[in-house]
Amino acid sequence: MGLLMIMSVNSWYSIQCSLFVMSFMFGSFAVGGSVNCMGFGMGLDYISYVLIWLSIWIMSLVVSSSQKVYDSMGFNKVFLVINMLLLISLTLSFACLDYILFYLCFESTLIPTMILILGWGYQPERLQAGVYMLFYTLFGSLPLLISFLSIYSMSGTSVYGLCGSNLVDSSVYCLWYLCSVVAFVVKLPAYIVHLWLPKAHVEAPVAGSMILAGVLLKLGGYGLVRVSSMFVSQAMKFGWVWMSLGLVGGSWVSILCMRESDVKSLIAYSSVAHMGLVLCGLMVLSYWGLCGSLALMVGHGLCSSGLFSLANMSYERLGTRSFFVSKGLMNLMPSLALWWFLLSVGNIAAPPTLSLVGEIGLIVSIVSWCPASAVFVGVLSFFSCAYTLYLYSSAQHGKYFSSLFSCCSGKVREYLVLVMHWLPLNILVLKCGILIC
C-alpha cells in the first residue's frame, strides 16, 4: 500500500507529511501508558516500540534532509521507494516474534542501504564502501543463520522466549552462543569489526548516513537483547570478553577521533565509541544496563543523525568535508553555529539530553560489574568530550578559507530538520519512564 501511494502521489512533500503524521500517531500510544493496549497485541514490547518510533521519525527527517535529490530530479521516486522499503524492513525486524523471520528482515535491510550508497553516493569509492559493508555483514550472518536453524531443530520452535530451553550447556552450546552474538557485534559495530562503518558513512549520501547512524546500528543492540536471553550462562562466562572489547576499543577509538580531518569520519568514529558503551551495558545482563543501553541508543540515534545532517548542509555549500578548508564557519553561517553547539552538547551527553540518562545507567552498571572498569569509562568519557570540542572548534572557529566569500546561512526546511532532531533529544527526558520500564 505504501509503495502504491508513493507511485501515485507526485508530491515529495506529501510523503514527508505522511511520515511525520505516522510518527506522531505511533508516538501518541505512549501517552498514558497505552502501549500495552496496542503494542503487545502487535508483537511489540517497550524496546521494540521505542525503536520502531525512532525508525519512523528518523525516516521522516531523512526525506526532509534529502531535498537535493528532489531538486536535481535524481530518480526521486526510486529514492522514496528505496527508503520506504528500508523502513518496512526495519519495522518488521523490530516487530517480529520469530528468530528466523527476524533474521530475514535483519538481512533485508542491507539491500536498500547498499542501493542508497551506490546510487546516490558522492564519491567513486562508494563501490568499495558498499563491498566493505556487504562482506563484513555477511561474515557474521551465515553463522547466525546456522545457529538459528540449529536452535530450531533442537527446540522445535524459533519463537522468542520458547526456544533455547532444551539446549544443553556444552561446547556446542558455546559455539552457538558465539555464532549468534558475532553477527550483532559486527552490526553494532564493536571495535575490530568496525572498519566498514566509517567507509560507509563517508561515501553514503545524507540519507544513508542518517538512517545508518540513527537506526541501523541499533539493530545490533536489539539483536543482542533478543539473543542473550537464550544464552544466560554463556553470556555470564564470556561477559569479560565483550566488556573488554567495548571499553578498551571505545577508549582507543575516542583517542583516534582526535586526529581525524574529515567531519563525517569523525562523527562515524564517535558512533563506534558510543556503541562500545552500549555493548558493555547489554553484556552486563543487568536492569540498569538494559535501560541505559536503550536510552543511549535512542539519544545517539537522534544526535548523530542531526550531526550528519549538519555536516551535509556544510558540504552542500562548501563542497568539502575537510577541517582544513571548512574553518571559521561561524563567520559565514552564524545561525548554524548555534545548532552545531547544541548537537555537540548532546553528543557529549550533557544535561538535559536523553544521552545523559543512558550514560548514567551504563556507568552505574559497568562500574558495579567491575570497579576497575571505571578507569576505561573515565578515559572514554573524557575523550568523548575532547573530540566533540575538537569537532566544534575546528569547524566554527579560525580564519575561513580565502576562496569562500559568502553562502546561505540556512533555509527554513533545514532549521526545521534540526529542531526535529534536537527537541526529542531533550524533551524525551521528561518521558524517560518509557525507556525504564
Cis status, amide bond into 112, omega within 30 of 0? no
Average the pLDDT over each of 191-205, 325-339, 375-389, 404-418 and give the range with the smallest value. Answer: 404-418
Average pLDDT, the chain: 83
pLDDT tops 90 at residue 419: yes
Look up residue 144 and give its DSSP letter. Answer: H
Question: Considering just the CA atoms, what is the radius of gyration of the chain in Å?
Answer: 21
Distance CA 218, CA 222 (A): 6
pLDDT attached to residue 4: 41
Residues with Cβ within 8 Å of 330's Cβ and at least 6 positions away in sequence, in order, are 337, 396, 397
The C-alpha cell that represents 375 in the structure block: 578507569
**Residues with Cβ within 8 Å of residue 427, at least 6 apart in sequence:** none
- ω before 205 within 30° of 0 (cis)? no
Section 224-240 average pLDDT: 84
Please give the Cα distance from 62 to 309 (Å, whole number).
9
Cβ atoms 135, 193 nearer than 8 A: no
pTM (two decimals): 0.90
What gap in Å lies between CA 72 and CA 49, rounded to an integer? Answer: 36
Continuous H helices in 29-95: 35-38, 46-65, 67-71, 76-95
Average pLDDT over residues 243-263: 90
222: pLDDT strictly greater than 80 = yes
C-alpha distance from residue 141 to each of 131, 137, 212, 290, 350 (Å) = 15, 6, 18, 24, 36
- Three cell numbers, residue 64: 526532509
Please check whether residue 276 is in contact with residue 246, taking contact to mean a CB–CB distance below 8 angstroms: yes
Question: Residue 418, SS3?
Answer: helix
Per-residue pLDDT reduced to its tens digit, 17-66:
878 888 877 776 655 455 555 544 456 677 888 899 899 999 999 988 88
CB 289 within 8 A of CB 362: yes
The residues, ordered by sequence, that sit 6+ positions from 57 with a Cβ below 8 Å of its Cβ are 23, 27, 420, 424
Identify the pLDDT of residue 159: 79
Return the higher-pLDDT residue of 39 and 264: 264
Q: State the Cα–Cα distance between residues 382 and 218, nearest whole angstrom.
A: 24
DSSP-assigned beta bridge partners for residue 98: 159
Q: How far apart (Å, rounded) are the C-alpha atoms in residues 317 and 112?
A: 27
Q: Render the burial of 83-93: b for 16+ CB within 10 Å, e for the rest.
A: bbbbbbbbbbb
CB atoms within 10 A of CB 285: 16
DSSP SS3 for 300: helix
* C-beta of residue 253 within 8 angstroms of C-beta of residue 269: yes
For the stretch 136-189, pLDDT in tens is 888 888 888 888 888 888 777 777 777 655 555 556 677 878 888 988 999 888
CA-to-CA dists, residue 255 to 33, 265, 266, 366, 413, angstroms: 42, 14, 11, 20, 35
